[in-house]
Chains A and B, each alone.
Chain A
Amino acid sequence: MIGNATLNCNEPLIDETLTAQLKDLFSAERQSPSKSVMNFIFGYAGAYEPVHSDILGLTGFMKN
């Protein structure tokens, strides 16, 4: 049991060799995001301001 759920099956068994090989495989495929993408994200994070308050203000204005 996990929480209120009843599990239909236990974790499937996987031998250590295959686990190690899969780990190696996934590890060998590791990549990194490009610099331009990271620059965009950080630029966006610095510039982004939510318009939430503006929308709420406008809603209030319209109600009145």
Chain B
Amino acid sequence: MSDTKRTDKELIESYRNGCLSDFELLVSRYQEQIYNYVFSLVKDRQLCDDIFQDTFVKVIRTIKAGLYHDEGKFIQFAMRIAHNLVIDHFRKENRIPVVESSSEDFNYVDNAPITDPSVEQGMIVDQIHSDLRNLVERLPVEQREVLRLRIYEDMSFKEIADITNVSINTALGRMRYALINLRKMAEVNNICLTY
């Protein structure tokens, strides 16, 4: 059977029985998704490496101890471990990022790079991305997390709720506030997010 057709459950079972290469295959399926999820929250390569490594140490221990019961949700299981490690890190550092959505001390315009009105389309797109990145980074980490999981990872709110250990209503609420905050910050700072 080709590797792509083998289910996560089969790979996990095989690894539990001693086949390391099947574990490597499993990791290769999801390494980017998990790594980028962590990176989107911590924004630091070294720290991201550490959390990613600790995530898989926990994954390995759980599988080998026979405590992982596959229900076709390996990625959610691994992402939930990663999520908890990120939250642990923020708690230790005592710095869960908080947005000041109505913030008057956030003067985006003062920090925004000056653009030449004659720049070409590519530069306009770059500028919009740069503006948007600044806005997204000012969201509280839990709103940024839901935004990424929903839009980029294309996860359902049920899956997001499972990963982040909250109710579906809370996940929906966080998405709603993320969008409200993005639009409000864009409006207050007169930032155009359309081409």
Binding site for B on A (CB under 8 A): 2, 5, 7-12, 14, 17-19, 21-34, 37-38, 40-42, 44-46, 48-50, 52
Q: A45's contact among B23, B48, B194, by CB below 8 Å, is which?
A: B23
The count of chain B contact residues (Cβ–Cβ below 8 Å) is 46
Shortest Cβ distance from B18 into A: residue: A46
**For the complex, what is the distance from the CA of A4 to the CA of B164, rounded to whole Å?**
19
Q: How near does chain B come to A7, taking the closest CB pair, in angstroms?
A: 6
Q: How near does chain B come to A47, taking the closest CB pair, in angstroms?
A: 10
Question: Would you call B133 and A48 a contact (CB within 8 A)?
Answer: no
A32-B35, A42-B27, A44-B57 are known; give 8 further A-B pairs, CB within 8 A: A5-B168, A7-B169, A10-B172, A18-B193, A26-B151, A27-B152, A33-B31, A33-B49
Indicate whether B158 reaches chain A with its CB closer than 8 angstroms.
Answer: yes
Shortest Cβ distance from B157 into A: residue: A11
Closest CB pairs A-B (n = 7) = A26-B152, A12-B176, A41-B56, A50-B65, A46-B20, A37-B49, A50-B64
**For the complex, what is the distance from the CA of A51 to the CA of B45, rounded to whole Å?**
33
**For the complex, what is the distance from the CA of A45 to the CA of B129, rounded to whole Å?**
39
